[in-house]
Amino acid sequence: MEQIIIKLQEWIAFYGLKVIAAAAILVIGRFIAMGVRAFVKRLLQRIKVDETLVSFVTSLSYVAMMTFVIIAAVGQLGVQTTSFVAVIGAAGLAVGLALQGSLANFAAGVLMIIFKPFKVGDYIDAGGTSGEVETVGIFTTELISPDNKKVIIPNAKVTADNIVNYTAKDRRRVDILARVGYGENLDKVRNILVDILADDRRVLKDPVPTVGVLELGESSVNLAVRAWVRTSDYWDVFFAVQEMIKTRFGAEGIGVPFPHRGVHLYKTE
């Protein structure tokens, strides 16, 4: 009995220190992990990173730190941690291969949140579709189409091609093509177009609107009508100017040519 007590005392003395050391590693490691999480959060908030990404990255950093702390504590107890590390590595590789598409979307989402090629409320053309940005998430971007349909696009597809942000700037140029016949007086036509732009208060005076001959088409002289407007007025001005061109051309007797085809019939024996 005395030998058992001695052995028990030796075992407690030997493993007790290991247990205390492992507990200390857990406690200290947890405080360090919490400190790293707080530091990462402050750093990301200081550089004004989106809150969604801040929450994800801080949680990920805390879990990663605690994983290493737990492995270190288990190793202090005398357990071989090499197998644990190998298992975690193999599991990470398997998960990475299985979720490579999701990881690509995640990486693209992180880049978009950091570099901000667009923001919520912008009207963009990306991923083969157009619409107003409703949500920029970690894995997907949600757009609202002009006919009020929700379009969900994987972030990897958004960043894989060109992104056109129509509302990034406060001014846009309206480009309209006016076609007139070859027999029309170009000075008269140009003056009418200039007057139409001058009468619309939404057309900006600087830069100055321009009207010029763009090309000599097969059946018409094509004039480029270009005016700068506020981005919010773009479509209103686009539709209004085209309607006014048709009205003024009709009132001034300026013909608008249209494609036509002549058919000749020949009588044969």
Q: For residue range 199-254, what is the model confidence (pLDDT) as tens digits?
A: 999 999 989 999 999 999 888 999 999 999 999 999 999 999 999 999 999 999 99
Cα–Cα distance measured from residue 228 to residue 234, given in angstroms and rounded to the nearest whole number: 9
**3-state SS assignment for residue 213:** strand
Contacts 24+ apart (CB under 8 A), 259-267: 259/219, 260/219
* CB contact at 8 A, 97 and 104: no
Q: Express each pLDDT in 159-186 by its tens digit.
A: 888 999 999 999 999 999 999 988 899 9
**Cα–Cα distance between 186 and 214 in angstroms, integer?**
12
**pTM of this structure:** 0.65
Q: Would you state the pLDDT for residue 215?
A: 92
| Mean pLDDT, rounded, for 32-46 | 81
For residue 6, the model assigns a pLDDT of 60
pLDDT at position 111: 82
The span from the CA of 50 to the CA of 107, in Å, is 14
Does residue 178 contact residue 243 with C-beta atoms inside 8 Å? no
pLDDT (average), residues 135-139: 83
Domains of the chain in start order, with CATH, are 2-98 (1.10.287.1260), 116-165 (2.30.30.60), 171-252 (3.30.70.100)
| Sheet of strand 164-165, all strands in order from the earlier edge strand to the far edge | 150-154, 140-144, 129-136, 123-126, 164-165
Average pLDDT in the chain: 82
Nearest partner of 161 among 169, 153, 170, judged by Cα: 153
Question: What is the structure's pLDDT at 99?
Answer: 46
Average confidence (pLDDT) over 2-6 = 61
Q: What percent of the chain has pLDDT over 90?
A: 40
Q: 46-50, 144-148, 247-251 — which is least confidently predicted?
A: 46-50
Statement: residue 93 has pLDDT above 80: no
Among the ranges given (79-88, 98-107, 173-182, 187-196), the one the predictor scored with the smallest mean pLDDT: 79-88
Structure confidence at residue 2 (pLDDT): 61
The torsion of the CA quartet 142, 143, 144, 146, rounded to 10 degrees, works out to -160
CB 107 within 8 A of CB 160: no
Residue-level pLDDT at 23:
79
